[in-house]
Amino acid sequence: MTSRVFDDQLGREVILKGLPQRIVSLVPSQTELLYDLGLGDRVVGITKFCIHPKEWFDSKIRVGGTKNVNIDRVKSLQPDLILANKEENTQEDIALLETIAPVWISDINTLDDALKMIVSVGHMVGCEQASEKMMKEINHSFSKEKISVSQSALYLIWKDPNFCAGKETFINSMLEKAGFHNVCEAKRYPELGTFDMTEPEVVLLSSEPYPFKETDLAQFKLQFPKAKVIFVDGELFSWYGSRMRLAADYFYNLQNEISSH
């Protein structure tokens, strides 16, 4: 059996013995990508947060959460490839998983990172044409929807404490694509009040990981009286797999909604 060598997005060499037939995915957006690439029965394990597609969520074996992987359960599945992510999964879990099977780690902070991940995963699993077609489709969707608006925005991901998306995140990259200037100049996911910022024109309440509610909307309207406060689909700002095919149209319609708000 011929070995194949791939570099992951941390620059690590990942050696695969042939075409992977038993894949465990520890990243929700990459699980959905595998489904849309047509992997079917070749994906044997997912996390409890891999909610798309529903048929896999209902039928595939779950191996815990992204931060607390059930290592023994992964081992019992006898995978020949494990897909992980630098931000989603812990170093401790990855070290243990590497004793079971090759682990390919994504590290995604920009749209370009996400597109490269799609193609890389496609090549590893033998879906080169489908993954390259998907990458081109996503690229085209963003070039087609010309969004020139540049409103200042605060993107909230959690409540009590209130955390937001800052620089050096995939969400920040998507905010720029959606026509927003992120008022959070701090890196990663800081807590409100721990950094200086200008008053945002728009406050975006994400649907995940924290599901903001109407009561939260009222609270943030009081906190930011000059801003438009609206709910947004967190998956379309933070999922970096095949779901990105929907993002450009969603951003375009979102800006239309805000302009009429």
pLDDT score for 258 = 87
57 SS3 class: helix
pLDDT score for 144 = 75
Residues 192, 163: contact at Cβ < 8 Å? yes
The fold for domain 3-107 equals: Rossmann fold (3.40.50)
Record the tokens describing residue 63, joined without a space: 């191996």
The strand pairing partners of 17, in sequence order, are 3
- pLDDT tens-digit map of 202-254: 999 999 999 999 999 999 999 999 999 999 999 999 999 999 999 999 999 99
Helix, strand and coil percent figures for the chain, each rounded to 5: 40, 20, 40
pLDDT score for 122 = 98
The Cα angle at residue 154 between residues 149 and 159, in degrees rounded to 5: 150
The Cα angle at residue 70 between residues 66 and 76, in degrees rounded to 5: 130
Kindly give the parts of the chain with pLDDT less than 50: none
The set of long-range contacts for 222-229, using a CB threshold of 8 Å and a minimum separation of 24, is 224/154, 224/199, 224/200, 226/199, 226/201, 227/154, 227/199, 227/200, 227/201, 227/202, 227/203, 228/201, 228/202, 228/203, 228/258, 228/261, 229/202, 229/203, 229/205
pTM of the model: 0.94
Domain boundaries, the chain: 3-107, 151-259
pLDDT score for 145 = 65
pLDDT score for 148 = 73
Domains 3-107 and 151-259 belong to one CATH topology = yes
The fold for domain 151-259 equals: Rossmann fold (3.40.50)
Among residues 179, 168, 187, which one has the least CA distance to residue 204? Answer: 179
pLDDT score for 32 = 98
Record the tokens describing residue 155, joined without a space: 């993107």
Among residues 242, 128, 249, 261, which one has the least CA distance to residue 204? Answer: 261
Q: Is the dihedral of CA 181, 186, 188, 194 positive or negative?
A: negative
pLDDT score for 137 = 96
